[in-house]
Structure formats: structure tokens, C-alpha cells
Amino acid sequence: MNNLRLIRDQKIIKFEYDQNFKKDDFYISSSNQHIIKILNNWPKWEKNFLNISGDKYSGKTHLINIFLEKFKGIKFEANLFNNKNLEEIKIHQNIILENLTKNIDEKFIYSLLNIIDQDNKYLIVTSTEPIVEIEFDLNDLKSRTNNFLLQSIKKPDDNLLFALILKNLSDRQISLEKKLINYIVKRIDRSYGKIFDFIYKIDEMSLKKKKSIDLKIIREALGE
């Protein structure tokens, strides 16, 4: 948070390109601090099953990578999870399933939940909607979702919105005046995906117009 305050006090924001998911590159705010607290409290959890839900680009993968860096484990894409993976998890205490949707092999996921229970392991599942709201066909799997501790990433507050805009600008090696970033913060939709799309849009407009991003480009991108 101190880094965030220092950044906001600067007049001109300049960046080095560094697209990563490191701990120092993650911004803690009221939108996500409750999840950080739970992850840092491992293994003293109320349950062995944790579901982190949130919009695309809300930081779920970033949180997972920070957790794995500290506590170790193995992660899989949920829609690719298979019988071979059930063997691979045996030597790991922490198992991560990312991007869970209805489009999975439900029998393998159900088997995974049983192994977590039997061997006293820990499972973190990320998804865009809470796992209890996913309409699985397998009733046994549906009922087991009630065993999860549910945590959702909230919409970004002003500080996080500012930081996310900075991060997306940084990834594209774009420099903007602080007053322009504040202008965006006050007007952009509080959606993680919309932030990503907006920075992409003003970057593309800047390239096409062959000029630096200014208030005119920003207002045009906002539809003003």
C-alpha cells in the first residue's frame, strides 16, 4: 500500500516493462484483502476446500501464484483435469484448480474432492462465479460444493482501480500524467475486464493516430 501512495503522489507516471505475477506486483485493497488474509493463514482454515471467485482479470491467478510461491503445491486448468492428474496430486499437500466452469469432467473432479477429504489435503478452486452456483449434472458433485469456503473478489475500489490502470499501462510501456489517470478512474466502469479492454483501446487509438495518449483520446475511448 505504501508503494501505491507513492505512485499516486507522482505527477508523471513512467514504467519499465515487467509483466509478471510476483508478490510485489500485487495490489492489496478492500476488494481483495480478505482473501489475502485467508491464504496467509494456511493451513489454519475452517475447511480444506476454498473457492475464490471473481471477474476475469480480477487477480485470481496472481493470488494463486503468490500462494504457491509461499506454500508450494501443484495447479491445473480445471477443464483439462484428467485421470493422470489424480495420480500426480498424491505427493502434494496443496492442489489448485483454475478457471472452473461447467465444462469439466465431473467424475474426475468428484474423485479429486474425495482424495482431498481422505488424505487431508487442501484444494483451492478459482472461478468467475461461486462454485455453489455452477449447475453441475452430477448431483454428488453439486452437493459437495457446499463444503467449500466461499470467497469473492469484490469490484475494485478507487485505490485498486488506480493501481490496476497503472499496471495495465506499465505492461504496455505507456506513460500518463496523474491527472489523466484520475480522470479515467472517475469515469470508467468498475469492472476488471473493462479496465483491461480500455487500456488496450487507448493504446490502439494512439498507435493509429500516431500521437501520444491525451485527454481527447481518453474521452473518445470513454464515449464522451
pLDDT digits over 67-84, tens only? 999 999 999 999 999 999
Determine if the pTM surpasses 0.85. Answer: no
The verdict on residue 21 lying in a domain is: no
> In terms of domains, do 174 and 194 share one?
yes
Domain boundary among 132, 152, 172: 152
164: cell is: 490496476
Question: Domain range holding 186?
Answer: 2-14+156-222
> In terms of domains, do 57 and 165 share one?
no
Whether the predicted pLDDT of 184 surpasses 80 = yes
Query: How many domains does the structure of the chain reveal?
Result: 2
> In terms of domains, do 90 and 131 share one?
yes
Whether the predicted pLDDT of 13 surpasses 70 = no
CATH number at residue 91: 3.40.50.300
- CA dihedral of 195, 200, 204, 207, whole degrees rounded to 10: 100
Q: Residue 89's pLDDT is what?
A: 96
**3 state SS of 17:** coil
Whether the predicted pLDDT of 107 surpasses 90 = yes
> In terms of domains, do 168 and 217 share one?
yes
